[in-house]
Chain A
Amino acid sequence: MTLKTTPLNAAHRAMGAKMVDFGGWDMPVNYGSQIDEHHQVRNDCGMFDVCHMRVVDAKGDGVRAFLRTLLANNADKLTVPGKALYSAMLRPDGGVIDDLIIYFMTEQWFRIVVNAGTADKDIAWMKEQAATHAPNLSITSRDDLAMVAIQGPNARAKVWQVLPQTQAATEGLVNFQAADCGEYFVARTGYTGEDGFEVMLPKEKVEAFWYDLNKAGVKPIGLGARDTLRLEAGMNLYGQDMDETVGPLESGLAWTVDLQSERDFIGKAALLANPPGSKLVGLVLQDRGVLRGHQKIISAHGEGEITSGTFSPTLQKSIALARVPNAVNIGDAVQVEIRDKLLNAQVVKYPFARNGKGLI
């Protein structure tokens, strides 16, 4: 099978990336040391090729009402133009189709950014639901757009250096807010637990943008560090921490699910009918070793499983997200089965690190 490539493929190779097959995409895993790249983002700034993610525009009268039905989080929370909301999109049985971000631009236009591996499935689902609930809406996959994430304490200043024409419109953005600056759509969002922007721009301009950022001192960061950064920040990864077989309440996403308001949404009835039997918690390994996905957890209240695990470069310890029985509490001691040994870990409240600092 031929791997899909982003418009930055040649640039990655020219910058010495080690390329890997990431869900059918030929992507950079690192450009040398993954740990150095991780610290680079926590301490300064770095840039990520996220062109494989998909931008979808939902346009037309009644788009807000449609999203109210489509998503577990409540689009009515968005009242200020540009504001963004993180939400799960659920099946009628409550399983998670994907997690995504919606940006409220106007009452006729919401922008949605979805995961790469689920994009086609997501768009098909959105169109199917729109046909039922909002036949006049247009749901458009913006295959003409590229996306680069610039993250770290110095990220915004670097973007302004390279795109000075966007500064006036973007320096007042609060966290989780975007501005449409013509060719450049600049959002103060990310997947690292650091400040920064995600910039959407025409595909044909992205290579020049990437090199301009690099000339301004922004280093490229691979998917390896992207994973350790997001895990330290306590952010879920679709396909690992949740998928169609588990609900958002078992996946640490209760804060994104609005069960309070009268509003009905796809999956709501199933969530109300099936209270969660397990929950997602953070783990810190106390013995020597590395926590990994699918390792078994043994607690006083029954067994659980790690959904994502890694070595945290910020904490210099191994950390994980794990799905455990509801009765397990923060501070509990649990054991993790690693190969033929039982190692000790502590249940902690995550995130593990954000804004350059460890939180554990």
Chain B
Amino acid sequence: MSNPTDLKYTDSHEWVKTEADGSITIGITQHAQELLGDMVFVEAPAVGRTLSAKEECAVVESVKAAADVYAPVAGEVIAANAELDSAPEAINSDPYGAWIFRMKPDNAADVAALMDAEAYQAHVDSEAH
């Protein structure tokens, strides 16, 4: 599966979608879910929490391991995906649909500065070596 070109990406394997109202939706990439394997638990950040860029704010756990999810940019958490409480495996089956949380970014420019799909793929390839 290739990475959708309408999304932005981080070097810690989150994807970021900019919504019409300027808020952003965050999940983990196809590559990240494949590395982790069968997902069994997701802990999203509390709504209202203020995050700085690259701050640890959520946890995804597979049978195999726990992994931190980081805030892609600074901002405030405005929503968390409660559906993942009962269906964490949605991250495996639909990584770009199974969002984890939403933020209102402090600066839209921070989002624009994240990697595009091509740069992210190059990052994944470089980590494989």
- B and A form one assembly: yes
CB distance from B35 to the nearest CB of A (A): 9
What 0/1 pattern do residues 275 to 300 of A give for CB contact below 8 A with B? 00000000000001110100000000
Which residues of B from 84 to 128 have beta carbons under 8 Å from A? 85, 92
A56, chain B: closest CB distance, angstroms: 31
A292, B40: Cα distance in complex, Å = 13
Chain B positions 36 through 59: 1 when the CB is less than 8 Å from some CB of chain A, otherwise 0: 011011010000000000000001
B37 touches A30 (CB 8 A): yes
Given A34-B64, A288-B85, A292-B66; A311-B37 close (CB under 8 Å): no
Residue B63 interfacial (CB < 8 Å) = yes
How extensive is the interface on chain A, given as a class?
Answer: 10 to 19
Chain A residues lying within 8 Å of B43, measured Cβ to Cβ, are 288-289
From the candidates B37, B61, B85, name the one contacting A34 in the complex (CB within 8 A). B37
Task: Decide yes or no whether A40 CB sits under 8 A from chain B.
Answer: no
Q: Which residues of B contact A34 (CB under 8 A)?
A: 37-38, 63-64
A224 touches B85 (CB 8 A): no
What residues of B have a CB within 8 angstroms of the CB of A318 in the complex?
Answer: 40-41
In Å, the complex CA distance between A289 and B64 comes to: 13
Whether A288 contacts B59 by the Cβ 8 Å rule is no
- 30 A-B pairs, CB-CB below 8 angstroms? A18-B37, A29-B64, A30-B37, A33-B37, A33-B38, A33-B92, A34-B37, A34-B38, A34-B63, A35-B38, A35-B63, A224-B63, A224-B64, A228-B63, A288-B41, A288-B43, A288-B85, A289-B41, A289-B61, A290-B40, A290-B41, A290-B66, A292-B66, A310-B63, A311-B40, A311-B61, A311-B63, A313-B63, A318-B40, A339-B59
